[in-house]
Amino acid sequence: MSRAFVKESEGEWLGDVAPEIAALERFLTRESGEKIYQLELTIETATGREIHEMNNGDRYALDMDRRWRKL
């Protein structure tokens, strides 16, 4: 299939999303069809890693390569 007929977001994976919360929210909203947004931000004491809890009940964090991962 020609790339001209492929939607821009088609084929985008969670790890491809820019390492910003707004980009994560846009990606999750597009994937689910419902508005997804951050409810709570927690910082792990031991590692300093930011854990983002979303309104759909899922939690996400950036890995060492600054790629989003679902926890």
Task: Return all residues near 25 (Cβ < 8 A) that are at least 6 apart.
Answer: 36, 37, 38, 54
Least confident of 7-11, 45-49, 61-65: 7-11
Supply the pLDDT for residue 10.
61
pTM attached to this predicted model: 0.82
The DSSP result for 14-35, as a single string, is GGGS-SSHHHHHHHHHHHHSS-
Order of strands across the sheet that contains 59-62: 38-43, 50-54, 59-62, 68-70
Q: Is 24:17 a contact under the CB 8 Å cutoff?
A: yes
Q: Which two tokens stand for residue 22?
A: 């707004």
| 6 pLDDT more than 50 | no
| 1 pLDDT more than 80 | no
